[in-house]
């Protein structure tokens, strides 16, 4: 699957961006089948009465934001469609791409009819379609000017280099996550007002442990990836590489927070920057702890299937297990009566199998469990490849199930048998994905190294 997607890199980017549009326009996933809410949302969709009560400046800024967000959709789809064709341009191609943008926008707006926090509108469909049209024009101009060939060469270099591929994918993830939930507000007055928070230095960390834990796990990979990339490609002294990683990580945290100045429901926070920087330092410390001696002499050698770090493998498992236990246990309540009630509900109540009559709630809960247990699939794949034995697989399985069982003493969560369907699906998905992903990385690195050797002059 990964090889098929990367065969046409514009197609991969287009599919990823389409999923991001659907994700960003349905946050925070509060769906309902309430008749009164649906009728109110339908009235917003088909009527302009709701927008007559809004200032014209807000409507204009919202329209500009919708246009800007659908320009990449049109650009990526046009590039994907014309990538492997000899006849690049035709009126039918232009028309079909624009209709695709209109269809996606209409589908998203209809989906928002069943949400509580979103506001569907025909105006959004029109502006999104306009953005798709401008994206097609931009794609056409890029071909005419030769820019797309240059971008293709850059994409080829990144996809053929595991380090650059991981770094680029992670930075793109941070950029898109910073702009969620897609409520972009480009009002100069709103941005100017938000800039006041930049001057309000707050030297306290996040008060909520869950927020600190979440931010740490989001930014920890940045410290690790940047440290490895600098170590592999920089000729500077090791101490200088460490200092560069610290400053680059801090700059990355500030950049992510600055992007949130353009999102209506989010704000710049120095507290988030400090928490993220702790994650950067944690990732940097992890790299120094696990790789300074192990990779010090041959860090510049290509990746290979025989290249294996037991310390990194077990470190990843321990961090994942800690995350699961924290996720399902905090905040905890050891009241014996509550534990007994939850255990009875888990084993005997029908709602433990189907916890809601709302199909949207079931889908959201399924997706969350799938995403949460995809890393478990990575662990099982690596365990099989390293031949650790059945006992290790059984031990990891017991630990994961024990972490799930911690919901019995969690004051805000309840264990459900329905969760195991998502958990199992996540493990299988992670197992299959990680196998194909590693095969692509190793194959790309082997091809790149072989090509490099072929170009060496004969002695």
How far, in Å, CA of 12 to CA of 4, rounded? Answer: 9
Start-end of H helices in 83-121:
91-112
Is the pLDDT score of 441 beyond 70?
A: no
Task: Check residue 99 and give its pLDDT.
Answer: 93
Question: Is the distance from CB of 263 to CB of 197 less than 8 angstroms?
Answer: no
Residues 110 and 182 both lie in one domain: no
Q: Which of 351, 266, 357 is nearest to 31 (CA)?
A: 357
How far, in Å, CA of 407 to CA of 332, rounded? Answer: 8
**455 lies in a domain?**
no
Q: What does the DSSP 8-state code read for residue 457?
A: P
Instruction: Band the pLDDT of 114: cuts 50, 70, 90.
Output: confident
Question: Radius of gyration of the chain from Cα atoms?
Answer: 25
Question: Is there a cis peptide before residue 181, judged by omega within 30 degrees of 0?
Answer: yes
Instruction: Band the pLDDT of 74: cuts 50, 70, 90.
Output: very high
Question: Is the distance from CB of 159 to CB of 444 less than 8 angstroms?
Answer: yes
Question: Is the distance from CB of 283 to CB of 221 less than 8 angstroms?
Answer: yes
Please tell me the total count of domains within the chain.
3
Instruction: Band the pLDDT of 133: cuts 50, 70, 90.
Output: very high
Residues 142 and 42 both lie in one domain: yes
Residue 12's domain comprises: 2-160
CA-based angle 166:171:174, to the nearest 5?
125
Chain mean pLDDT for the chain? 76
Is the pLDDT score of 304 beyond 60?
A: no
Of 160, 186, 210, the position where a domain reaches its end is: 160
Task: Check residue 56 and give its pLDDT.
Answer: 59
Task: Check residue 101 and give its pLDDT.
Answer: 92
Residue 343's contacts (CB-CB under 8 Å, 6 or more residues apart) are 408
Is the pLDDT score of 262 beyond 90?
A: no
Q: What average pLDDT score do residues 382-401 get?
A: 70
Residues 51 and 99 both lie in one domain: yes
Q: How many CB atoms lie within 10 A of CB 104?
A: 21
Of 106, 132, 160, the position where a domain reaches its end is: 160
Task: Check residue 453 and give its pLDDT.
Answer: 46
Q: How many CB atoms lie within 10 A of CB 74?
A: 27
The tens digit of pLDDT for each residue in 190-247 reads 666 667 767 776 666 655 666 677 677 788 888 888 888 887 777 666 778 788 888 8
Range among 110-114, 116-120, 402-406 with highest mean pLDDT value? 110-114
Q: What average pLDDT score do residues 161-180 get?
A: 79
Half-sphere exposure of 169 (CA within 13 A, CB side): 14
Task: Check residue 389 and give its pLDDT.
Answer: 60
Question: Is the distance from CB of 115 to CB of 26 less than 8 angstroms?
Answer: yes
Residues 269 and 175 both lie in one domain: yes
Residues 113 and 251 both lie in one domain: no
Higher-confidence residue of 93 and 185: namely: 93
Residues 347 and 236 both lie in one domain: no
The tens digit of pLDDT for each residue in 351-386 reads 777 877 777 778 878 888 888 888 888 888 877 766
How far, in Å, CA of 287 to CA of 408, rounded? Answer: 36
Helices 56-82 & 91-112 angle (0-180, nearest 10): 130
Q: How many CB atoms lie within 10 A of CB 35?
A: 8
Name the pTM for this structure.
0.68
**194 lies in a domain?**
yes
Higher-confidence residue of 451 and 158: namely: 158
Q: Which structure tokens are listed for 282?
A: 């944690």
**249 lies in a domain?**
yes
């Amino acid at each position: 699957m990964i090889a098929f997607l990367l065969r046409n890199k514009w197609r991969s980017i287009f599919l990823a961006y389409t999923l991001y549009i659907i994700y960003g326009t349905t946050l925070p996933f509060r769906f309902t089948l309430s008749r009164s809410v649906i009728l109110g949302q339908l009235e917003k969709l088909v009527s302009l009465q709701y927008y007559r009560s809004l200032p014209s400046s807000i409507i204009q800024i919202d329209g500009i934001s919708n246009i800007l967000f659908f320009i990449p959709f049109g650009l990526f789809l046009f590039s994907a469609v014309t990538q492997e064709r000899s006849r690049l341009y035709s009126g039918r191609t232009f028309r079909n791409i624009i209709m695709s943008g209109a269809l996606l926008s209409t589908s998203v707006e209809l989906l928002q009819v069943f949400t509580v926090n979103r506001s569907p509108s025909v105006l959004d469909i029109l502006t999104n379609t306009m953005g798709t049209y401008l994206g097609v024009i931009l794609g056409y101009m890029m071909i005419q000017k030769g820019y797309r060939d240059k971008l293709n060469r850059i994409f080829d270099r990144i996809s053929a280099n595991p380090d650059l591929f991981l770094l680029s994918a992670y930075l793109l993830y941070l950029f898109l996550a910073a702009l969620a939930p897609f409520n972009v507000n480009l009002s100069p007055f709103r941005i100017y007002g938000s800039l006041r928070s930049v001057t309000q230095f707050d030297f306290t960390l996040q008060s909520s442990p869950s927020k600190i834990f979440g931010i740490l796990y989001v930014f920890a990979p940045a410290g690790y990836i940047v440290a490895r990339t600098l170590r592999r490609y920089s000729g500077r002294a090791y101490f200088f590489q460490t200092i560069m990683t610290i400053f680059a990580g801090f700059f990355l945290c500030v950049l992510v927070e600055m992007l949130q100045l353009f999102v209506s429901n989010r704000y710049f926070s120095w507290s988030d920057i400090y928490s993220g920087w702790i994650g950067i330092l944690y990732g940097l410390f992890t790299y120094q702890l696990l790789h300074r001696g192990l990779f010090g002499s041959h860090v510049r050698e290509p990746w290979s299937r025989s290249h294996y770090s037991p310390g990194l493998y077990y470190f990843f498992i321990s961090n994942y297990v800690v995350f699961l236990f924290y996720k399902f246990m905090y905040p905890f309540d050891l009241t014996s009566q509550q534990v007994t009630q939850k255990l009875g509900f888990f084993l005997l109540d029908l709602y433990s199998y189907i916890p809601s009559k709302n199909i949207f709630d079931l889908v959201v809960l399924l997706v969350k469990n799938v995403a949460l247990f995809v890393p478990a699939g990575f662990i099982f794949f690596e365990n099989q490849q390293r031949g650790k034995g059945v006992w290790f697989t059984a031990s990891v399985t017991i630990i994961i199930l024990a972490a799930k069982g911690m919901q019995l003493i969690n004051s805000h969560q309840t264990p459900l048998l329905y969760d195991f369907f998502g958990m199992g699906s996540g493990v299988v998905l992670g197992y299959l994905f990680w196998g194909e992903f590693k095969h692509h990385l190793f194959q790309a690195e082997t091809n790149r190294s072989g090509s490099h050797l072929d170009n060496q002059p004969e002695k």
